Amino acid sequence: MSDLLERLLGRGWRMTSQRRVVAEVLSGDHIHLTADEVHARAVRRLPEISRSTVYNTLGELVSLGEVAEVSTDGRAKRYDPNARRSHQHLVCSGCGIIRDVHPVGDPLAGLPAEQRFGFTVSGAEITYRGLCPSCA
């Protein structure tokens, strides 16, 4: 059983075959699937699963903090199961592939007080852009 699934059971998540399949599809590293892609893979294992259920389940996983929403291109949101470890993303401008990366240092350090306009700044998301080895 996957890590994610184990944690969800530990939280008393009501388990159904649909939820199990969605959680299984979202296992692994560098996984950044759109809701439609999650649905497509879920359907292979459970042909009757509906689009609504996938959306509901993804939304719940996000609320629980187990999965993060990533939108690197203004198109469909992507779902990243690696939400517990803070990380950023490196995106290929050619093919769109996404890698999880762990920059060094505190990203908030680069924003001096006079650039904060009185905001209480709590976090930063960084999207690095470039070309992957195949596209370069």
Partner DNA sequence: TCCTACGATGGACAGAGTCCAAGTCAATAA
Partner DNA sequence: TTATTGACTTGGACTCTGTCCATCGTAGGA
HEC per residue, 43-90: HHHCCCCCHHHHHHHHHHHHHCCCCEEECCCCCCCEEECCCCCCCEEE
CB 2 within 8 A of CB 27: yes
- Residue 117 partner contact from its own copies, DNA, none using kind-dependent CB cut-offs of 5 to 8 Å: its own copies
**Closest C-alpha among 22, 24, 86, 82 to residue 55:** 22
Nearer to DNA, 20 or 90 (CB): 20
The correct pick among 5, 43, 62, 92 for binding its own copies (CB under 8 A) is 92
In angstroms, what is the minimal distance from the CB of 76 to DNA? 4
Q: How far is the CB of 8 from its own copies (least distance, A)?
A: 24
Among 10, 11, 29, 48, binds DNA (CB under 7 A): 48
Does residue 2 belong to the site contacting DNA (CB under 7 A)?
no
What does the angle CA 92 – CA 94 – CA 99 come to, to the nearest 5 degrees? 20
Angstrom distance (rounded) from CA 35 to CA 6: 22
Interaction site with its own copies (CB under 8 A) = 69, 71, 73-74, 77, 90, 92-93, 99, 101-105, 107-108, 110-112, 115-133, 136
Interaction site with DNA (CB under 7 A) = 13-19, 34-36, 46, 48-53, 55-57, 59, 74-77
